[in-house]
Structure 1
């Protein structure tokens, strides 16, 4: 006697959900293909430059042909929503933009031969392209994973908030100091002809620019599955196991990350004054995390 108690409706719903999860995702497929092109096209073109010719039309033709084939093949083979979700769940996803560093080896083997200029240029293009497209690939995968997780979880409450007022003030001072220090340092390096030190001052300016987004407004969704933290271009779900507790003061709502965090930099810190329904948010947090006084 059969013991299967599943109804036709539940079986159909399961089949429909499975089909939806494995459906084609044209945009993600395009990003996968573009990433494949960013990795393959410079490598093949370097091979042509070293083994065949350095003529610009030939190199450009090889680059474009390989790029188009890689985009098409990647989109056709890997453009699946299920693959995007699995990649977004993996902690190894961030290896994608880092693979471009392998191209920097081309700078070491370029030598002084007739193809050295082409090898250096293509190596830099490969490193930059893989880094940028790889980052976009990670963002796309994280966004799809977040959507998939929350679609299967009871969404409890959403809110948007900036970093706490004190954090924003500190960040503004830090950004000003880094940018000003970098600009003054660049001017001094030019005046004193210290070209070897200019990279440091460029790094200071870039670090200052990067800090600007730390305390800007983010959107959050607190659900049974965890907390979705997002910007308009990048959303990530953190499970409740990623947090050990939360605390609330007049100045800050803080979700304390599990494990060691230097100066609490890994914690989620937001301004409670920006939260429209703070009572609803804390009620959900109380269900999943102990409150730290």
Structure 2
């Protein structure tokens, strides 16, 4: 019988200026253009230098407020460490990309003729498009920073019971990537048929980014099992990605011919790794998991 209910994520009392700056930059990149466009339209701002000034002031204000709100960032770190946040934050940036594409087209049309004094909204929308791209990147970096921080704090004084390196089973990788690419191309085709072939400029980027994210998510990882939970980490060219999951967030574990499966609560994705990759430590891993989780029949 497992003891998952007795293991909790350690208390996180964190004062992390770097994380606050990342979260502030991400939030400002998403919200500042929207708020500025509303002000430009409401107050009928015609001067583009004034519009850009408003955008800068709004972004600075949002940035500062977020940093102040996250002076004690423990709860935010905890939220970003769990669930589907790693997908939600980066993908939110694609919403303004779609909303601002008309402004970009209009801006380039003006650049070929003459930029009118009343085109303040066009310039703000174009800058918003660029900031939306930045938000996609900042969202990913913010989540990774939060998870790395939580993992570092959670296992700082923990004994590692067993460590191994494994990837997702090949069947899972092929199946999920094929579905993602197929659905993506169907959506691209439908949007191009309904609106314009020009929509493929950003929709194909969306499909490529999603496919890349899925591929990287299935890469080989290092797993460390501790008395409090499981840490998983992987290294990419630019970053090291770590995540700590407390035993209380798991329901049970099971084994198939190809994989270990750690079942998570509610809609959180299960943790899967190849039995072939973990073969040298398989018995140790199974026994350690049984100490904390119920062994469910596959």
Q: Give per-residue Cα distances to partners, 1:174-214, cap 9 Å, x unaligned.
A: 289749x949x87xx79xx9738858973665554444234
For residues 105 and 272 of structure 1, the distance between their equivalents in structure 2, rounded to whole angstroms, comes to 42
| Aligned twin of 1:288 | 292
| Aligned twin of 2:126 | 121
Measured at CA, do residues 205 and 167 of structure 1 come closer, stay the same or move farther in structure 2, by a change above 3 Å?
same
| Aligned twin of 1:217 | 220
C-alpha contact (below 8 Å) 1:161/1:270 kept by paired residues? yes
Q: For structure 2, list consecutive stretches of 5 or more residues without a partner in the other structure.
A: 1-9, 107-117
| Aligned twin of 1:4 | none
Which SS does the other structure have where 1:224 is aligned?
coil
- Is 1:26 aligned to residue 17 of structure 2? yes
- Is 1:133 aligned to residue 138 of structure 2? yes
For residues 201 and 44 of structure 2, the distance between their equivalents in structure 1, rounded to whole angstroms, comes to 36
Measured at CA, do residues 247 and 209 of structure 1 come closer, stay the same or move farther in structure 2, by a change above 3 Å?
same
How does 1:17-166 map onto structure 2 within 5 Å?
A: 22=13, 24-47=15-38, 49-50=40-41, 51=43, 53-72=45-64, 74-75=66-67, 78-80=70-72, 82-88=74-80, 115-118=120-123, 120-121=125-126, 124=129, 128-151=133-156, 153-166=158-171
| Aligned twin of 1:14 | none
Aligned residues: 262
Larger Rg belongs to: 1
C-alpha contact (below 8 Å) 2:48/2:119 kept by paired residues? no
TM-score, normalised to structure 2's length? 0.63
Measured at CA, do residues 93 and 61 of structure 1 come closer, stay the same or move farther in structure 2, by a change above 3 Å?
same
Measured at CA, do residues 204 and 31 of structure 1 come closer, stay the same or move farther in structure 2, by a change above 3 Å?
closer
C-alpha contact (below 8 Å) 2:26/2:138 kept by paired residues? yes
For residues 278 and 252 of structure 1, the distance between their equivalents in structure 2, rounded to whole angstroms, comes to 11
For residues 31 and 120 of structure 2, the distance between their equivalents in structure 1, rounded to whole angstroms, comes to 18
1:237 Cα deviation from its structure 2 partner: 2.9
C-alpha contact (below 8 Å) 1:175/1:212 kept by paired residues? no
Q: Give per-residue Cα distances to partners, 1:260-284, cap 9 Å, x unaligned.
A: 89xxxx3322122322533322221
Deviates more, 1:70-79 or 1:161-170: 70-79
Instruction: Tell me which of 210, 230, 234 is aligned to 1:227.
Output: 230
TM-score, normalised to structure 1's length? 0.64
Measured at CA, do residues 252 and 99 of structure 1 come closer, stay the same or move farther in structure 2, by a change above 3 Å?
closer
Q: Give per-residue Cα distances to partners, 1:31-69, cap 9 Å, x unaligned.
A: 132134324532453255332634333333333344345
For residues 98 and 282 of structure 1, the distance between their equivalents in structure 2, rounded to whole angstroms, comes to 36
For residues 270 and 122 of structure 1, the distance between their equivalents in structure 2, rounded to whole angstroms, comes to 42
C-alpha contact (below 8 Å) 1:175/1:209 kept by paired residues? no
Which SS does the other structure have where 1:274 is aligned?
coil
